[in-house]
Amino acid sequence: MKFWASVLISLSLFIIGGCIVVSDNKCPCRPCPPPPAKAPCAMDAEIQAVAGLNLENSRIDRYCALAGRTPLSPAAQVSLIAAACDNLHLEANVLRLFKTVINNPDLCPAGKRAILDRLDYLHLENNRREVLDALDRVAVHPSEQTTS
């Protein structure tokens, strides 16, 4: 009787829930595998998803969260800066994003170049000067160093 009751319950749960794992608790549990590392295209998908947010405050918060990640590849830096400049309308938000990217330890020459190419998104001279000063303060990336 107990057997048929458990079979009936298992079948009804299978029909309602889809899948059931029955264990006799005699085998040891295996740990879950680690989550896979994010592929480079995952960052592009995240950048595109942020662009779809309706509120500028939401967009700048998410763009800055992405810009603060390490490691941040050169391609991701360039994509992030381009997307943010296309989707942010307030100068203060563009300035905030530029400063977040500049303060990332993974800032690379391509990221610096993307910022410099879009410096005209900042209309106030004080903001442009603040970005240029911040770029001057960051350590030189190994690929930019010259041997003498």
pLDDT tens string 33-43: 554 444 457 89
What sign for the dihedral angle of Cα 113, 117, 122, 124?
Answer: positive
Question: In angstroms, rounded to a whole number, what is the distance separating the alpha carbons of residues 10 and 110?
Answer: 58
- Domain count for the chain, please give it: 1
What is 34-48 written as a DSSP string?
PPPPPPHHHHHHHHH
33-89: pLDDT as tens digits: 554 444 457 899 999 999 999 999 999 999 999 999 999 999 999 999 999 999 999
For residue 32, tell me if it sits in a domain. Answer: no
Q: Give the residue numbers spanning the domain of 92.
A: 40-139
For residue 47, tell me if it sits in a domain. Answer: yes
For residue 146, tell me if it sits in a domain. Answer: no
